[in-house]
Amino acid sequence: MTTGNLLPRNSTRAIEVGSTIIGAGNPIVVQSMCATSTRDIDLTSQQVQTLADAGAKVVRLAVDSRKEAQAALEIAARVEANLCIDLQENWRLAQILAPGVAKIRYNPGHLHHHERSIDWREKVRRIASWAAEGDTALRIGVNCGSVDPAMKEAWPADDSISPMVTSALEHAEFLDSIGFERYVVSLKDSDPNLVIEANRRFAEQRPEVPLHLGVTEAGLPPDGIIKTRIAFEQLVSRGIGDTVRVSLTLPNPQKSQEVTVGHEILEDISQGRVRSVVHYQGEGPNIISCPSCSRVENEAFVELAQQVKQMSSQFSQHDITIAVMGCRVNGPGETDDADLGLWCAPSFVNLKRGSESLGSFPYDQILQRLQQEIEALIGQRGSTQ
């Protein structure tokens, strides 16, 4: 794809990620992420290659243990693709991974979960050192549901953008200060309006830093595609964004649709085929669901997300946000802002109302309980009007 050459672009740094270059006017890179278990080397290698063959210049894997790290290195040796490793909470795995992969993504918020006696700057210093020694790029991946706790406390509760942007700026400044400039930044939210504003603010202050764009937990097609399209249109058309990922809730065999859709959106923007909207104003239920990835512990999560969407259609006159998360990493925090949230464990589903836990339920019972909670929420809203 040469789409990126036809679009206005910020003058960003060139960041080498394996065999591709992100930024500096190069074509916008479309990425994707595996939904298979990283420990399943054969199946994951196959999906990596499928995504790469579909046009993904970078393919991401989730790694949270030494066993998964060793598996990722084996996968990297088997495939012809640029692998990005998504570190979860075990930041020390970067030392094992850096020599064998193209890029490592760390989440500033996750650095505070373990080994709290070690300052985050020291952790980042070591990650950057390992990356430099391994000839590996980094991504500072700031996510709405797992922002640095200190940052979150420093801003009003109704301001979710400032903590994200400030955290990204702080980490970018620190990496620069220690002489590591081979990094990309991402600021993601499930609300495209917030994605637009967060990336616009960061680009104003650090226009030279390449940005990775995406709407996290965009959900099921077609809604997830619409949310993503709106964010990309408003940012890419302003020269913001050097690499993108479309995050959709899809069964494994359909995962390459993320890549196809990403290229289609970029092509449409370059040809002026865009929606004339700035804000995504949803009507009726808004179903937020994370993209199926290797962190998902039960593939029934994808079917459940589809069932929730179908069931919620009977409440089309009510603006209700329901979040369906597939794992313990994103689930607990990223359901807090939804009216009702579900996050899936291997054999049960945790149900929440805002940040309040309502208990855990078997997969075959959760829809009935969710419907009861929706009806109760609607009834409560009606009584207060």
- pLDDT, one tens digit per residue, over 76-107 is 999 999 999 999 889 999 999 999 999 999 99
Return averaged pLDDT per consecutive 10 residues of the chain, 385 residues in all.
58 97 96 95 97 98 96 97 94 97 96 90 98 98 88 90 96 98 97 95 98 92 91 93 95 94 93 58 71 68 86 88 77 76 86 90 92 91 69
The torsion angle over the Cα atoms of residues 113, 118, 124 and 130, rounded to 10 degrees, is -110
CA angle 367, 280, 352 (to 5 degrees): 30
pLDDT digits (tens, 9 = 90+) for 142-156: 998 888 888 888 999
Structural domains for the chain: 3-270 (3.20.20.20), 286-383 (3.30.413.10)
Helix H or strand E encompassing 244: strand 243-245
**Would you say 320 and 380 are in contact if contact means Cβ atoms under 8 Å apart?**
no
Q: Tell me which amino acid residue 303 is.
A: E
What is the chain's percent helix, strand, coil content, to nearest 5?
45, 20, 40
